[in-house]
Structure 1
């Protein structure tokens, strides 16, 4: 089992010293990587799971934040949970992700993308909320195409994106895995058809969670499909065994303090 942490700027704040201290401590404790969330913009009435989001929540740009983390750590892998892919143009995003990967010496390895669930956020960036699934599928294809293209360029013609003989350098140091985040069967199917892994949300019943993971595996043509889940900082060895039996390959915790990070690492002998 692999273990990672998340750093949420709305909860933990934007103080750069605190961010660096958190990331360096997570690395010293033996955690594999650090995830950050994304919201491009908020507005009055925006809500998630029935909870209205305060408009003043500080959501940092995830890739800029991860580049800052990379500069102050040595081996910590960099991740998003989730990057809202339909709100980014894949041609510019391919460049940004590859740049982070090269400058971090190959650590942009935990990229998880999702569709977003706030209609007003989609409108703000000029995206039809109803098309964000199809747009995401195309964006994944475009990212991989650009990263694999040679000096003569690559071409693409789809519903949302089109270009001819395009090159995008630098390439990532190794092909970037793209994990799919979400809490729906459509997300699970997308993980199987286009993803390298599935990272479902936390508000699912055990039966629905199992059904989605089965769907992801059944639709996948890959030899391996990673399965990432959220876990409590109070995780017990018995609960860990249950996750392993479900096929989970990575657990991500949201620690309230550095002491909680330390206690978790000691409990599972991460260092």
Structure 2
């Protein structure tokens, strides 16, 4: 079981605070750091029953992760989630590979999702109803560009098309970066099985629905001729969770747990992170 931590946008965009948070997470022995994404917000924007304040500061997660990479040594870099339909995959392939090269192979917890805000799709010129097909195509494009050589690769799809293009640099030491799929729908679970390297379901699902979706992901992988055992299974957890809770997660096939501090005060956040590290004997100073 791996343990990672997320950084909340409510903590602001202060560079010193972000670096201190990331460095303490690394010192505690957390595997990686996750950041969320919203490109735009607007009055009335809501995720489920939760309305998002329009002025909530959502920095660009990839820019932040590049910044964190320069200030850390081994912390893996993750997104939860990057809104894939709103990024052009040709540009994104280069951005992700560049971060991976500069961090010497640490851009390895990329999780992509569709987004739930229609206004965000409209602002980026994307048809909200087609964003699932667009994301599927984008995943295919990313992998094609990373795997291509100096002869170039071509693609002709519903949303993206190019002929004999070369994308360099390549990811550090691998053919392509892992792409995990996040979401709270059965469609997301199937997408993870057909195209993803892992599934990271949302936190507001019932235990029964969560089990159904994980089974769907594995079934979809097998139907696509992929090995279901190769799928990683990431879940949200609480920073005060018990060893018994982690054992229950492991029994469900979970391979990674992502937690968040409950406090917005930096010193208290560090205390919570250190306590978690000691409880699970993470390979850091605790």
Q: SS at 2:214's partner residue? A: helix
For residues 35 and 148 of structure 1, what CA distance do their matches in structure 2 show?
A: 25
Quote the residue 1:248 is aligned against: 254
Counterpart of 1:158 in structure 2 is 157
Deviation at 1:219, TM superposition (A): 1.1
SS in 2 for 1:188: helix
Q: Measure the CA separation in 2 of the matches of 1:156 and 1:122.
A: 24
Normalised TM-score (structure 2) = 0.94
SS in 2 for 1:110: coil
The Cα shift of 1:8 comes to 1.6
Give the equivalent residue in structure 1 for 2:266.
none
1:52, 1:74 → 2: CA distance?
37
Matched, 1:116 2:115: yes
**TM-score normalised per structure 1:** 0.99
**Could you say which residue in structure 2 is the equivalent of 1:66?**
65
Unaligned runs of 5+ in 2: 264-268
2:3 alignment partner in structure 1: 3
1:52 CA drift (Å) = 1.3
Any idea what SS the aligned residue of 1:31 has?
A: coil
**Residues in 2 aligned to 1:157 and 1:6: alpha-carbon distance in whole angstroms:** 37
* Structure-1 residue corresponding to 2:205: 204
Confirm whether residue 234 of structure 1 aligns to residue 246 of structure 2.
no
What RMSD over aligned residues (CA atoms) do the two structures have, in Å?
A: 0.6
Query: Once the 2 structures are TM-superposed, how far is the Cα of residue 29 of structure 1 from its aligned partner?
Result: 0.3
- What is the CA distance between 1:13 and its match in structure 2? 1.1
Task: Give the C-alpha shift of residue 188 in structure 1.
Answer: 0.2
Distance in 1 between residues matched to 2:83 and 2:232, nearest whole Å: 20
User: How far, CA to CA, are the matches of 2:105 and 2:44 in structure 1?
Assistant: 39
1:46-71 Cα distance to aligned partner (Å, 9 max, x none): 00111111110000001000000000
Describe how 1:1-271 pairs up with structure 2 within 5 A.
1-9=1-9, 11-173=10-172, 174=174, 175-220=176-221, 221-222=226-227, 223-255=229-261, 256=263, 257-271=269-283
Find the aligned partners of 1:244 and 1:98 in 2 and give their Cα distance: 31
Name which of structure 1's ranges 251-260 and 190-199 shifts more when overlaid on structure 2: 251-260
Q: Give CA deviations for 1:228-254 in whole Å, capped at 9, x if unaligned.
A: 000001110110110000000000001
In structure 2, how many angstroms separate the alpha carbons of the residues matched to 1:184 and 1:93? 24
Distance in 2, Cα, partners of 1:206 & 1:15: 37
Matched position secondary structure for 2:95? helix
Counting matched residue pairs gives 270
Moved >2 Å (runs of 4+): none
Give unpaired runs (5+ residues) of structure 1. Answer: none
